[in-house]
Amino acid sequence: MRDKCTLTYHTALPAIFGIPKYAAALSAVAKEKGCGVETRSHLVEVRGDSKEAVFENLDSGEVTTEKFDMLHVGPPCAPNPAYAESPLADAAGWVDVNKHTLQHNTYPNVFAIGSYVQLQ
């Protein structure tokens, strides 16, 4: 089936992933697998009845429409405003936890997991 499929990955980021080390590895995999990558591409509309996804290029403002048979969308994630500017947060606004234990780095009685999805 893979040779009969066209895969395209859209991201609003300027690269396939926000961390350069991983972006380089993911870009290589996408190229090897023949997966297109569209950066600075923001999904603005899904037309389910006609199986079309509408994207806006965040640099040029150009709007394009792509037909699809299957569409997988991950919502944008951001730090929760309830803690983003609190003593629990790191400089980026995320809860400052140990990545192995999820225990807060300053407050040992605090554990955190998950992300905040901001829908518009």
Q: Are 95 and 101 in contact (CB under 8 A)?
A: no
CB atoms within 10 A of CB 117: 11
What residues does each domain of the chain span? 2-67, 75-120
pLDDT at 46: 97
Most confident of 42-46, 71-75, 115-119: 42-46
Residue 58 pLDDT > 60, yes or no?
yes
Q: How many other C-beta atoms are found inside a 10 Å radius of the C-beta of residue 53?
A: 20
b/e sequence 5-20, b meaning 16+ C-beta within 10 Å: eeeeebbeeebbeeee
Longest dimension (CA), the chain: 53
Global pTM? 0.68
45 half-sphere exposure, CB direction, 13 A CA radius: 11
- pLDDT, position 79: 82
Which residue has 């600075």 as its token pair?
40
Per-residue model confidence (pLDDT) at position 117? 53
The CATH code that applies to domain 2-67 is 3.50.50.60
The predicted-structure confidence for 72-111, as pLDDT tens digits, reads as follows 998 777 788 888 889 999 988 889 999 899 999 999 999 9
d(CA 77, CA 11) in angstroms, rounded, equals 13
